[in-house]
Amino acid sequence: MKEITASYVKSVLPTRNPEGHKGDFGKVYCLCGSVGYTGAPVFASRAAVRTGAGLVYLGVPESVYPVVAVKSDEAMPRPLPAEKGKLSLTAQFEIEQEISRCDAVLMGCGIGRSAESDTLLRRLTLNCPKPLLLDADGINAFESHIDEVDTRGTVTVMTPHEGEFRRVGGDLSVGREAAAAAFSRRHGVYLVLKGHRTVVAAPDGRMAVNPTGNAGMAKGGSGDVLSGMLLALLGQKVEPFAACCAAVWLHGTAGDLAAAEKGEAGMTPTDLLEQIPYAIKNL
């Protein structure tokens, strides 16, 4: 079990081509949000921008589109068909059209749960040909269906906290590291098991633990920031295990910078967003 270091993260971060244009730095798609959870899509999409993504597309239920749109300066939000504040099955074709033009996809932050939205997320996951990051209700949608993920033919990353991990069959009785390794190997996913000393596991047996971060990050929205950061790195073609390690280290480092400035009690996920550029720049 290796500990993620600054030198390792520096070595895997993508270089910025001085002659590049926005299309060269990753086109990513965030499928997030529902009534009552309008912060999640904003945090995730802003974090993707802050971590270098060239173009960030954002799909949200039409019922929350006005709120999200007014908060989105860099990301490009679009309204999608909704049912009772959550995504409708009728949104599937439009979402798949958006996915087809992107390099990596995030699904789940703040989407909420209903039978219809869970079914939609599972269908999209199984049909998605791009590297896919599942977080929050994107993971919860696979409760009692986790073996379906095994059939995907491309990169799948899952970023559960311990409750979500248990919900999809993770066995923490053997300890966090062993549990993450077994789950990753069994289902062929790159797993980021969040919490104190976040564990990263790859299907081929590689593992790492993250030393950065602090208790001030234990607030709603912090995980959405991490998802956006990881999505941006996947969209920039960083190898998945390296992308997971770099994202959690940079996320924790941004949290440590925010805590140093504002204190653990008062810092917010917005403060994390503001510190991402400095976490990267300081390398």
Question: What's the rounded Cα separation, in Å, for the pair 14 and 103?
Answer: 15
Give the count of beta carbons closer than 10 Å to the beta carbon of residue 126. 12
Question: What's the rounded Cα separation, in Å, for the pair 183 and 191?
Answer: 8
Mean pLDDT of 73-80: 97
Residue 169 in this model has a pLDDT that exceeds 90: yes
- Max distance between CA atoms of the chain, in angstroms, equals 51
Q: For residue range 128-162, what is the model confidence (pLDDT) as tens digits?
A: 999 999 999 999 999 999 999 998 999 999 999 99
The pLDDT value recorded for residue 149 is 96
Question: What's the rounded Cα separation, in Å, for the pair 204 and 201?
Answer: 8
The pLDDT value recorded for residue 24 is 87
State pTM to two decimals.
Answer: 0.98
Domain parsing of the chain, residue ranges: 2-12+21-281
The pLDDT value recorded for residue 1 is 79
In 3D, which of 173, 189, 152, 197 has the Cα closest to residue 181? 189
Mean pLDDT of 240-246: 98
Q: In degrees, to the nearest 5, what angle opens at C-alpha 219 toward C-alphas 264 and 1?
A: 85
The pLDDT value recorded for residue 68 is 98
Residue 19's SS3 state is coil
Q: For residue range 28-68, what is the model confidence (pLDDT) as tens digits?
A: 999 999 999 999 999 999 999 999 999 999 999 999 999 99
Q: Where are the alpha helices (DSSP H) in the chain?
A: 6-12, 39-50, 65-70, 92-100, 115-127, 137-140, 162-167, 176-187, 222-235, 240-262, 269-281
Contact present, 94 and 104 (Cβ < 8 Å): no
Architecture of domain 2-12+21-281: 3-Layer(aba) Sandwich (3.40)
